[in-house]
Structure 1
């Protein structure tokens, strides 16, 4: 989420050397529970009585009492940089359409639902009966389980967004018209059954990962797919509407592709590039293209 791509690597090396974090073989960063609690206590001490003046919010009661649920006339909350809320731990929350209008420094927004066997344990409790007018332009990470609207706010400035996760959402398209999201690298829209349009490659030229599994309303041929040349991971599993690809595809980077359980996909295109993994389980495809076999 930082502007300098070298900073996370250098910073992590320092933290690892001081035994403050560890990195597993599958590149997961882990921190000791006591260290995490100490960090949270440091943030809590920023303003004990008013959660809205803290830089980060994660405790469900603090989020409930922070001024994101009340009228648009509330005072500015510039201090808040990150919100991470486990939706299973709180009551229903009705957000005002201007809930985030005065959070000018918000960089991370995460409304998530724990899963059991890859299935959410319950439905979302976040409601937007009046819609959503805006999101902060500095937002870099957005994860919203069961995002309830058809699209993101029309005036959302996508200049800084790096990761966008809207699983189980009701989006039909991420945004209306053509926009530029040149920093966007990761998109996850799995189980968004109403999704019928994905961004064009010219809108997201640096996209590296996209998950569209169980998106039942996608176009049958995904016309833009041949031009996402920087992709390293593509998931289309359980997309029942997908029956073909419009033309051959070229990828610059090594890529993993999952088209398993695409029950109407009868043939796979020729691909130039390094396909390191291809899943076609439970599809009618009988022969893999020669370009993939060669790889």
Structure 2
């Protein structure tokens, strides 16, 4: 899988760029769903919703929105890919020197400099950090260029101080990653996409990767930051979420998504989504009716 290079221009009268998108899931809009990279750092706020998070080698699914910071040259896909329902997001893109060469070395920027280092692995923020900074990021849409600049610094400082985050990749894999690894992982992801409805033989996936089963399990865990079983279950549950919105019978959805036991399906669904399939369906219908 080859990452595409994206050229980004700052907003007029500003040293960085702020984008707002609200589109039906899967709509092309005016931004990239494909795997791409750029020299700018990026902060992505996804409003309440469900979708796919693909940053570096990490592939997982967010629920109830997401707040992610991505370093320069770290490949990623658009966060609306695989989204359920309406996709709404704000994206902030800025270069490390957006306030001038050397500013990141000033003493006042010490914690933000460390944040920039952590973002080389991709960072997903949660909890109070997500709740509080969502409000700050939304404010950017209404501010003047100078006010935006001040607010962005506040946002960066608060992200830097937060302990409510997970690192999405095991190490710095910005665009110097192995093309061989990316091609291998793409084959694995594509295999799961094509075969998730049926039982997946891990030996077949290991053969696809030219690895033994133990070597494959270690390789996938190291590069994807989760076990292969966790990845497959998460993919199946995300597909089940989409089917739940169509009104299809939950038992049928269970088997269509590759599970062969309804109680196990319910347990795994709750593990990833925090609620049962029927609760998920009701919650989505209620939120849709409120729009």
TM-score normalized by structure 2?
A: 0.24
| Structure whose residues are more often helix by fraction | 2
Rg comparison, structure with higher value: 1
